[in-house]
């Protein structure tokens, strides 16, 4: 496992609570964090602003064309897909855009995870948290196949063990972690090397 340059997190039902537990327990220095939480328009900015006040990292709603930075967490805008793409070979930029829903979701975790697999590959860490359905499973599998480290929330601590189970059952999840240990696991992996 090489140095982690990007952390990608996906969540749905129960995810606001899960992220509210994980993000305040993460301390700089950390690579950029990109997050898709299934959330309606307008609520994503309010959530980002609220959780930012509780965090050591800077948490904000992602903006189209924004270059991502270390020690920042970017939450996908409600109603838009969000992905990462390379700009000029090295720097990563956010793309927030309107496109058809994936798994009836917009933003969709799969859209983000698949872009991370393509653009970041083995230097990414993928995390799938509580949620209904299977959004994120295929994208997390692509990330793992490209050499990324992948974590899934365990059944016991998930409000809904749908998304983590779907990812685990297709072999996308390398390790299952209880919610209470997720921040520690993310930090340990991100700080290796």
Known catalytic residues?
A: 12, 38, 135
Tell me 114's DSSP state.
H
Neighbours of 83 (CB within 10 A): 24
The sign one gets for the Cα dihedral 14, 107, 162, 34 is: negative
Supply the Cα-derived Rg of the chain in whole angstroms.
Answer: 14
Nearest to 127 by CA among 174, 57, 93: 174
Q: Are 61 and 50 in contact (CB under 8 A)?
A: no
E strands, 147-191, are: 149-153, 175-177
């Amino acid at each position: 496992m090489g140095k982690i340059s990007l952390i990608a997190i996906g969540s749905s039902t129960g995810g606001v609570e899960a992220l509210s537990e994980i993000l305040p327990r993460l301390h700089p220095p950390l690579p950029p964090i990109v997050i898709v939480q299934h959330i309606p328009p307008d609520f994503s900015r309010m959530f980002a602003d609220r959780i930012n006040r509780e965090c050591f990292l800077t948490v904000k709603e992602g903006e189209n064309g924004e270059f991502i930075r270390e020690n920042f967490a970017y939450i996908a805008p409600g109603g838009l897909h969000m992905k990462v793409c390379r700009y000029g070979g090295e720097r990563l930029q956010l793309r927030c855009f309107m496109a058809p829903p994936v798994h009836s979701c917009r933003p969709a975790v799969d859209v983000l995870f698949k872009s991370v697999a393509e653009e970041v590959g083995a230097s990414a860490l993928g995390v799938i948290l509580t949620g209904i359905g299977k959004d994120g499973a295929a994208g997390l599998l692509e990330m793992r196949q490209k050499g990324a480290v992948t974590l899934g929330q365990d059944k016991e601590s998930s409000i809904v063990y749908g998304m983590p189970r779907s990812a685990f059952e297709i072999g996308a999840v390398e390790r299952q972690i209880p919610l209470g240990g997720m921040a520690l696991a993310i930090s340990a992996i991100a700080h290796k090397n």
